[in-house]
Homo-oligomer: A and B are copies of this chain.
Amino acid sequence: MEQIAKGVWKAVLGEPEELTPVYFREGSIRSEALESMGEANLPEALSRLHYEVTVRGITVTISMSTTEDIYGFGLQLKSLNQAGRKRRIRVNSDPPADTGESHAPAPFYVSSAGYGLFADTFRYADFYMGTSVRKGVSADKREVNQKHEEFSESALYAFKRTSEEREIIIDIPGAKGITLYFFAGNISEAVRRYNLFSGGGCLMPMWGLGVWYRIYGGSDQVKALSLAEEFRREQIPVSVLGLEPGWHSHSYSCTYQWSSMFPDPDRMTGELRSKGYQVNLWEHAFVYPAAEFYDDLLPYSGSYEVWNGLVPDFADPSACEIFGGYHEKNFIEKGIGGFKLDECDNSDYNPSNWSFPDSTSFPSGMDGEQMHNAIGVLYQKLLNRLYRKHGKRTASQVRSSGALVAPYPFFLYSDLYGHRDFIRGMASAGFSGLLWSPEVRSCVSGEDLLRRVETVVFSPQALLNCWRIPNPPWKQVDTAKNLADEWMENSEYYTEVCRRYLSLRMSLLPYLYSAYMEYYLTGRPPVRALVMDYEKEERAAQIDSEYLFGDSLLVCPLTLEDGTERTIWLPEGRWHSFFTGEILEGGREYTIHADYDEIPVYVKDGALLPLAQPVPYVDENTVFQVRIRSYGSGEGSFILYEDDFTGLAAEKGDYNTLTVTRDQAGKITWKREGKEPERYQIAGLWKEGAADGEM
């Protein structure tokens, strides 16, 4: 094992492939930040690592104790703690079961034994996390004639945390070698080191943290503008307006040319920008024959079509130049703020299996298997570079992702839609450098809408995806009635509650921007599982229905199925209800009531929380009016970051820090350092336990 940075080691086993996540990594390892994390060692167990290369591929085994907890593997919607489970790292769009597959599985895990492991491959690797023991280990078992009364499947199949030493097996068919990277430290530290190894967390533009709204797929230019007007008129804060497939003259596969429904796209974009909107364009990577660059791309695409379109080889510089150059000239230079890459995952669970075969060959030398795990990642890299070339950050969306993606300001979304699973994704995705969006799409009722809006407001991306309905869902959730312009009975009530929550999102922007800046600076994810901050508390190991939102907020969403009551668990210490100020003592469970328009959110004792006067959108001139809420007593601090909110200067250190401090006596002061223009005006303070409405 070779140490390649403070707390990071590398082991080359066999003959690794060339085209891997590290090969395509954006930027370089953030050595300084790693250095500042200090010394760290790997657990002794890793010295007992073995590997074998067979006709099938390479297999690595690592010993594991049955008491170990395991997290990571990218987006995992069906489970959080992976001890005793097999994880298949294969991108897929609609996996119905808990196999490890998802829109963004990653060959990275962290163990409570004190390390993280990344296997540098785009292949379909299988990770067996203590499912198995070597033969003979149980040879001394002799218990017989136990009582047979009833036989339940769940008892038969339960994962037993028995005393045998188990194994982690990393099985990578098709590879003759693998490079492993190890990250020392507890769960939080190992995750940070992985993210810093990836290049650090992304720089997110402030506008990307505002409210996103994807409009009806059948909208034309007039309707798009009129909806944009409606939001401003009705004081619904929306920062990003997303266009769905209908903007293309052909969408499955894509032409990347405006359809006849958008006769004057430049004027439309200009008008939207002047109203404070960023414009986001839906697309997929599959290039229809009528696309302008089809012929150019033909030699730099995979050997099979998808929906009659070419699959660009994003591992090949020529393909990137053709696809990227077109996007640069036609969209980025014309003010389009970002894209949404759809259908870029795999389709093993879709009845039509629409995607390219695993056996597809690409000019770069990649095959279809690798490209399925890579295409979403390589697209992010390409688009991110194009925006950076113009000195800008993008905030975009992508439906597949994978390894080492922390530096990309892309939100990951899903075609699946279980609200409970979406909440679990908030806890799971943060282990692997992913920004998960539990988008609001369709809703069975107004109550369902409220529950989903509450969650999305406390998530990495506050997105409403209304591609099937021409009017906002708070007017009507039923698709047919929405199409017929018929409103729900209580649409005014739903509108008011949604407006309130979306405005709250805008109030949270300074707080959230700091969380993202910390992600950039230290690798610490802005939204994460409780176990990342509270690893020493046993209960935290399994909590997947609550999560941390920034440094001070703990969120416990309810789903429609929960009704108005749920059980929550709070870590040791005092917790303040964000909305009511009520104080709860942690280290225990509570059963709490929350009406459909309420979401339980708790503030950590000692926190200083900046809240802004809501603005309808954010642009380069926005200056936030901020008030500070102080929770509890004793010394405390919070850093606000001021920069241009959209460019790359922050990477060179061109930002101010505005540090809010509470001293032992409870006195709160703030101090600005840096030479950048001021973006926050601190307008005042709250006392401990102040309620929301007082703002």
A32 beta carbon closer than 8 Å to chain B: no
Query: A671 on the interface (CB 8 Å rule)?
Result: no
| B99 lies within 8 A of A349 (CB) | yes
Contact partner of A260 (CB less than 8 A), chosen from B145, B171, B255, is B145
CB distance from A355 to the nearest CB of B (A): 8
Taking a contact as CB atoms closer than 8 A, the residue among B88, B126, B249 that contacts A144 in the complex is B249
| A140 touches B (CB below 8 Å) | yes
Which residues 217-253 in A have Cβ within 8 Å of B in the complex? 217-218, 244-246, 249-252
A169–B360 CA distance with the chains assembled, in angstroms:
10
Contact B352 A159 (CB under 8 A): yes
* Chain B residues, CB < 8 A from A483: 150
Asked if residues A148 and B259 are in contact (CB atoms below 8 Å), the reply is yes
**Secondary structure of the A contact surface, majority rule:** loop
Q: Quick one: which of B146, B151, B358 contacts A250, CB cutoff 8 A? A: B146
Q: Which of B96, B126, B261 contacts A148 (CB 8 A)?
A: B261
Q: Is the CB of A173 within 8 A of B176?
A: no
- The 8 Å CB contact of A174, one of B173, B350, B352, is B173
- Identify which of B56, B128, B174, B354 contacts A367 (C-beta below 8 A): B56
A154 CB to nearest chain B CB (Å): 9
Task: List, in ascending order, chain B residues with CB within 8 A of A157's CB.
Answer: 350-352, 354
A103 beta carbon closer than 8 Å to chain B: no
Contacts of A145 in B (CB 8 A): 249-250, 259-260
Contact in complex: A298, B84 (CB < 8 Å): no
Chain A residues within 8 Å of chain B by Cβ, number: 96
Residues 121-163 of chain A, each 1 if its beta carbon lies under 8 Å from chain B, else 0: 0000010100111111111111111101111010011110000
Contact A97 B96 (CB under 8 A): yes
Whether A351 contacts B305 by the Cβ 8 Å rule is: no
Residue numbers in B under 8 Å from A95 (CB-CB)? 97
**What string of 1s and 0s marks CB contacts (under 8 Å) between A601-613 and chain B?**
0000000000000
Contact with B along A346-380 (1 / 0, CB 8 A): 00111111101111010000010100000000000
Q: Chain B residues with Cβ under 8 A from A96's Cβ?
A: 96-97
Inter-chain CA distance A158–B369, complex, in Å, is 23
A139-B245 contact in complex given A96-B96, A97-B96, A169-B359, C-beta closer than 8 Å: no
Q: Report yes or no: A304 in contact with B132, Cβ–Cβ below 8 A.
A: yes
When each residue 77-93 of chain A gets 1 if its CB lies under 8 Å from chain B and 0 otherwise, what string results? Answer: 00100001110100000
Contacts of A171 in B (CB 8 A): 357-359
A237 to B136, CA, bound (A): 45
6 shortest A-B CB distances, which residue pairs? A138-B308, A144-B249, A86-B353, A148-B246, A59-B359, A56-B174
5 A-B pairs with CB atoms under 8 Å apart are A52-B359, A95-B97, A146-B250, A157-B351, A159-B351
